[in-house]
Structure 1
Amino acid sequence: MKCSRFLYLVFILLLQVSSLQADHRNIQGNVNQPEYDLVVYGATASGIIAGITAAREGAKVIIIEPGKFIGGVVTGGLSKTDIGNQATIGGITREFFTRASQHYNGKYMWIAEPHINSKIFEEMLAEVKIDVIRQEKIRSVNKKDGRITGFTTLSGKRYQGKMFIDATYEGDLMAAAKVSYVVGRESKGTYQEEYAGFYPDVIRNLTNDVMLEGYPGVGGEGPGFVHGTPTKISGLHKDGTLVDGVTRSAAIPGSGDNLTQSYTFRLAVTNNKDNLLPWPKPAQYDPRKYELLLRLVQAYPGIPFVRLVNLSQIANDKYDLNAQGFFSTDYVGGNTDYPDGDYDTRDRIWQDHEDYVKGFFWFLAHDERIPAKLGAETRAWGLCKDEFVDNHNWPYQLYVREARRMVGEYVMNQMDCQENILKKDVIAMGSFIMDSHIVQRIIQPDGSALVEGAWDVLARAYKIPYRSIIPKRQDCLNLLVPVCMSASHVAYGSIRMEPVYMMMGQAAGLAAVHANQEKAAVQDVDVNKLQEKLKAQKQILSLVK
């Protein structure tokens, strides 16, 4: 009898210990982490919209963000939104931009300040009570029978779900799940695309008058954007070595490679002295990186600051600053190892880009070889004291224009943006020009430097198919990819705009809900039902009424 009682007490004690261990594992987010209806990896604007869409349908959603901040470039510096035909933008995406505009009594649409965009996202997330877990990077992914069951982060936490969305700019969940993808440029023959592959520029022979005209609304009425190689500028030092930022290439026009268009930081800047923070000197500054910039300035005496960058006015005396032309804030060649790089490699490249962009302004503002007038003009501009206040006034997000791209059920290409624009399984629309920033500057036989890989070409208002945001069936059955979606380098040049990412995010979030309801793979979702629900949510699927 005593023995039985003793064994009973031991049994109860073991149960209590087991329960405590289970509770501890729950707290730590390990093996007993609750299963979510949807796990979104990446709190970009697309990921946030995807999560909100699913949560509004009653799904249990969690968003995991590898970085410290949310919203991607929409909250991280890209304030002048690239919209194309605004009639193609609807649904929760338009709701977001409308709510941001209401902060200015409807005066500004598509151009809210970064901190306002952050505020709107935070409000929208709070309304549906979505948990956003930050600074958690994927270490490994678990799959069973073609489905992701969960992933483990570097901290050891594990997140389990029925459906998953990869909304990162890099496609790390997609890659870890062994979904097919590419990095770089297809050859011209892959999809018969005119702008595919290695694409050398021509010398534009722009006159000094054109380069001195300034930017519309900011000291001039000249062309809004100066493209390509303006004139012959030597890419060699006197000893015949290459100037920094110039490379040699024996590639054949139209040939494919693993290179992507250049990255930068989109800045919020001002010339209002009351809110101006002088350009900071970078942690690592090397004036040799800007030799080609100096030669551009010398080639066009009197060139103004507003011709070396692209400025778009937003609210409260602020401007969204982007790169333009032959030598600007795009760090050409600096991103080669980023798309497939490990976290340490990417951190190094991220910091290198920050140093480069800061160095660009420091060079123009302080190098003694820069003409006094241009130096003074540069110093009249600076960062905004009231933006990114928790990040030393520097943008939160590196502008990753292109990294991995999924090879999914359907790969969109140039013709899908120009001729083959109709899709039966449409879930969103795009319309912005197909646009690639500089990929390389290459040395010519005469020693001049030539822009390579930069082009822009008109697109029509086109339909994006559901098939382009889902993997091949054999790759994964419960993953949707609205950012690193399935498109060629050329087509992605148009699709990569944030409103399009956001609309594809809405479609992905809703598709995840439908897949759960139908107990189906993402490839088997009833697209007709999905489209009807999207239209009810005011997503634009056609411009024809």
Structure 2
Amino acid sequence: MNCIHFLLPFVVTGIAAAAPAPRETAICVYGGTSGAVVAAVQAKKSGKDVILLSPDKHLGGLTSGGLGWTDLGDERILGGLSLSFYQKVYDHYSQEAAWDLQARAKYGNAGQGTKAMNDIRRTMSVFEPKVAEAVFNAWIEENHVPVIHARLDRSASGLVKEGGRITSIRTEDGQTIRAKVFIDATYEGDLMALAGVSYTVGREPNSRYQETLNGIQTARATGNQLPKGIDPYVKPGDAASGLLPGVREGAGGADGSGDKRVQAYCYRMCLTNHAPNRVMVKKPEGYNEADYELVFRAIEAGQTKGFFKLDPLPNHKTDSNNSGGISTDLLTTADDAYPDGDYATRERIAKQHENWQRGLVWTLQNHPRVSEAIRKAYAAWGLPRDEFVDTGHWPHALYVREARRMTSDFVMTQATVTHSEGLERSVGMGAYGMDSHNMQRHVGGDGFVRNEGDVQVKVPRPYRIDYGAIVPKKTECPNLLVTFCVSASHIAFGSIRMEPVFMALSQSAATAASLAIDGNTAVQDVPYGKLKEQLLKDGQKLTLE
């Protein structure tokens, strides 16, 4: 196989000068994510007409947006198109031409708890963003999937229902799409919400589902924690001077109690220290030194490293994620407004994250209050010139770790993730630990600044995900499937949310949609025996037994 050619997807454009005629299709997939692409491709492979309605210019979501250090947990859960994706990445990097900036032998083979390249299964779970996007674009091109790049009109008139079923949706620029079955494969769950499907935002109390890891977590939040002894006030020791930016007076309740907060977002920065391909990060417009006071105080309290990860990608690049108490996660609780926020609100929050992270890099490299040793340690890192070329080399996708979560007749919980016996309708598997990033900063009982919300607990073994988690209540919508904002508690979702799982659930959803159309039935009534038979025929991994 030759190296991946960086193709553009087959695109249908719409001009709003006059309302175009409605487009008819069997299945409409909403989203520009990895899961959305997989769902659309699987719909085509099932012999159904499909339209991929993408609110994003670039396809692939986080997988092509900087998350190249895959959160996998156990590679045995890969099957179907999710396995195919990582095999296509392997094929690309098996060609010498793919290593244009680094000798393959110099790269090494480290991945997220496993080897990056698995020569037995011919998979590669670590990759450059542009390579992932090229795989998704090629899939769309090869399968002749029509793509409309437009956002959903989230007003009441943006969706029409008849007899409880969605009959059509409309975009902001006036395009109408009619379909028999719809799939919401967005990180936010906008189509699900507009359809009137029940959902929740935030953390349930532990008592809701008899869990131990949900709700507010102060005692357990020992990972990604700040150094001890950081004063919370603008003028140290002077409460009258006010709290530092982003610091709250208290955690908002007792441990285990619920709230409406979501785990912090960030951008998965792709960085490089290879000078010929490097663009240095400039001080962002509007830079405010006070926003980085906690950085300075953390350094004064002893933090010397871990301001962001430098997980290696091919060709001298990184996937740079949050890695410490003060890092790329912007803990101002602004993200709490994101899930239900309008487009303008989300764009404002995304820009706030970008400015924070650009400012963090610049601060660590240049600010006089940062020690010379730290400045030297980070001095070589900048943005790759050959990545994200139309967005100033900055990732195109904010890492929305958690937004809305559907509440259906079946809910994945801590118990089902850790003890999955009894789940008889598997449509995919998960294996990564229950991973919740911090939610907020507050004044701890000792009077110093503490982070709250971090939970990282391994699951004992790969687990099955029930079909009920991706379909709403039948009374709410009988022709919609939801593949990221699934029906799960906050802590269970912390494991399920990983990109390979998202792709697997999206493929299963498209297969179920096809069967629902063939049987003229609600998605909730698709016979699981038929669904399982087809999923296994397509190579999906439903159990390790």
- Relative to the length of structure 2, the TM-score reads 0.88
Q: Which residue of 2 aligns with 1:291?
A: 293
Does the C-alpha gap of structure 1 residues 26 and 156 become closer, same or farther in structure 2, counting only changes over 3 Å?
A: closer
Q: Which residue of 2 aligns with 1:105?
A: 94
Q: Which residue of 2 aligns with 1:514?
A: 515
Q: Which residue of 2 aligns with 1:257?
A: 259
By how many angstroms is 1:245 displaced?
2.2
* Residues 226, 326 of structure 2: 8 Å contact kept: no
Query: Secondary structure of 1:138's match?
Result: coil
Q: Which residue of 1 aligns with 2:210?
A: 192
Per-residue CA deviations over 1:54-75 (Å, capped at 9, x if unaligned) read 1011110101111222110101
> Which has the higher mean CA deviation after the structures are superposed, 371-380 or 163-172?
371-380
* 1:362 equivalenced with 2:377 (yes/no): no
Q: Which residue of 1 aligns with 2:51?
A: 62
Q: Which amino acid aligns with 1:141?
A: L
Query: Secondary structure of 1:494's match?
Result: helix
Query: Secondary structure of 2:492's match?
Result: helix
| Distance of 1:26 and 1:479 partners within structure 2 | 27
Per-residue CA deviations over 1:7-51 (Å, capped at 9, x if unaligned) read xxxxxxxxxxxxxxxxxx999795742321000010200011001
By how many angstroms is 1:422 displaced?
4.2
| Distance of 1:354 and 1:421 partners within structure 2 | 42
Per-residue CA deviations over 1:213-242 (Å, capped at 9, x if unaligned) read xxxxxxxxxxxxx63244232222223221
1:233 to 230, 234, 246: 230
| Distance of 1:451 and 1:506 partners within structure 2 | 37
> Which has the higher mean CA deviation after the structures are superposed, 414-423 or 157-166?
414-423
By how many angstroms is 1:93 displaced?
0.5
> Which has the higher mean CA deviation after the structures are superposed, 419-428 or 343-352?
419-428
| Distance of 2:94 and 2:53 partners within structure 1 | 33
By how many angstroms is 1:283 displaced?
2.8
* Residues 429, 464 of structure 1: 8 Å contact kept: yes
Query: Secondary structure of 1:35's match?
Result: strand
Q: Which residue of 1 aligns with 2:468?
A: 467
2:64 to 51, 75, 83: 75
Does the C-alpha gap of structure 1 residues 506 and 29 become closer, same or farther in structure 2, counting only changes over 3 Å?
A: farther
Q: Which residue of 2 aligns with 1:13?
A: none
Q: Which amino acid aligns with 1:188?
A: N
Q: Which residue of 2 aligns with 1:320?
A: 319
| Distance of 1:96 and 1:479 partners within structure 2 | 25
* Residues 262, 335 of structure 1: 8 Å contact kept: yes
Does the C-alpha gap of structure 1 residues 28 and 83 become closer, same or farther in structure 2, counting only changes over 3 Å?
A: farther
Per-residue CA deviations over 1:501-533 (Å, capped at 9, x if unaligned) read 000000011111000001000011011111111
| Distance of 1:309 and 1:201 partners within structure 2 | 24
By how many angstroms is 1:309 displaced?
1.3
Per-residue CA deviations over 1:177-232 (Å, capped at 9, x if unaligned) read 0000000000010001111111114686xxxxxxxxxxxxxxxxxxxxx6324423
Q: How does 1:7-406 map to 2 (within 5 A)?
A: 30=19, 32-105=21-94, 108=117, 109-139=124-154, 140-201=158-219, 227-238=224-235, 239-240=238-239, 241-249=242-250, 250-300=252-302, 303-304=304-305, 307-332=306-331, 333-406=333-406
Q: Which residue of 2 aligns with 1:7?
A: none
Q: Which amino acid aligns with 1:311?
A: L
Does the C-alpha gap of structure 1 residues 408 and 202 become closer, same or farther in structure 2, counting only changes over 3 Å?
A: closer
* Residues 66, 137 of structure 1: 8 Å contact kept: yes
Q: Which residue of 2 aligns with 1:415?
A: 415
| Distance of 2:68 and 2:221 partners within structure 1 | 32
> Which has the higher mean CA deviation after the structures are superposed, 420-429 or 96-105?
420-429
Q: Which amino acid aligns with 1:232?
A: G
* Residues 25, 49 of structure 2: 8 Å contact kept: yes
> Which has the higher mean CA deviation after the structures are superposed, 95-104 or 236-245?
236-245
Q: Which amino acid aligns with 1:530?
A: L
| Distance of 2:174 and 2:492 partners within structure 1 | 38
Gaps of 5+ in 1: 1-24, 205-225
By how many angstroms is 1:137 displaced?
2.8
Query: Secondary structure of 2:83's match?
Result: helix
* Residues 40, 165 of structure 1: 8 Å contact kept: yes
By how many angstroms is 1:89 displaced?
1.2
Give the helix-richer structure, 1 or 2.
Answer: 1
Q: Which amino acid aligns with 2:260?
A: N
Q: Which residue of 2 aligns with 1:14?
A: none
By how many angstroms is 1:377 displaced?
2.1
Per-residue CA deviations over 1:469-514 (Å, capped at 9, x if unaligned) read 0000111000000011100000000000000000000001111100
By how many angstroms is 1:152 displaced?
1.2
By how many angstroms is 1:280 displaced?
2.8
Query: Secondary structure of 2:160's match?
Result: strand
* Residues 406, 485 of structure 2: 8 Å contact kept: yes
Question: How many residues are aligned here?
Answer: 496
| Distance of 1:278 and 1:300 partners within structure 2 | 27
Q: Which amino acid aligns with 2:318?
A: Y
| Distance of 1:430 and 1:385 partners within structure 2 | 35
> Which has the higher mean CA deviation after the structures are superposed, 141-150 or 412-421?
412-421
* Residues 436, 456 of structure 1: 8 Å contact kept: yes
* Residues 79, 320 of structure 1: 8 Å contact kept: yes
* Residues 221, 452 of structure 2: 8 Å contact kept: no
| Distance of 1:445 and 1:46 partners within structure 2 | 43
Query: Secondary structure of 1:151's match?
Result: strand
* Residues 164, 480 of structure 1: 8 Å contact kept: yes
| Distance of 1:401 and 1:284 partners within structure 2 | 27
* Residues 138, 172 of structure 1: 8 Å contact kept: no
| Distance of 1:131 and 1:202 partners within structure 2 | 47
Q: Which residue of 2 aligns with 1:432?
A: 432
By how many angstroms is 1:282 displaced?
1.9
Query: Secondary structure of 1:435's match?
Result: strand
> Which has the higher mean CA deviation after the structures are superposed, 498-507 or 127-136?
127-136
Query: Secondary structure of 2:233's match?
Result: coil
Q: Which residue of 1 aligns with 2:7?
A: none
Q: How does 1:441-460 map to 2 (within 5 A)?
A: 441-459=441-459, 460=461
Q: Which residue of 2 aligns with 1:501?
A: 502
Per-residue CA deviations over 1:239-261 (Å, capped at 9, x if unaligned) read 32211121122411111111000
Query: Secondary structure of 2:412's match?
Result: coil
* Residues 42, 507 of structure 2: 8 Å contact kept: yes
By how many angstroms is 1:169 displaced?
0.5
By how many angstroms is 1:96 displaced?
0.8
| Distance of 2:44 and 2:166 partners within structure 1 | 20
* Residues 61, 131 of structure 1: 8 Å contact kept: yes
Q: Which amino acid aligns with 1:300?
A: G
Q: Which residue of 1 aligns with 2:8?
A: none
Percent identity at matched positions?
A: 39
Q: Which amino acid aligns with 2:508?
A: A
CA RMSD of aligned residues (A): 1.8
Query: Secondary structure of 1:267's match?
Result: coil
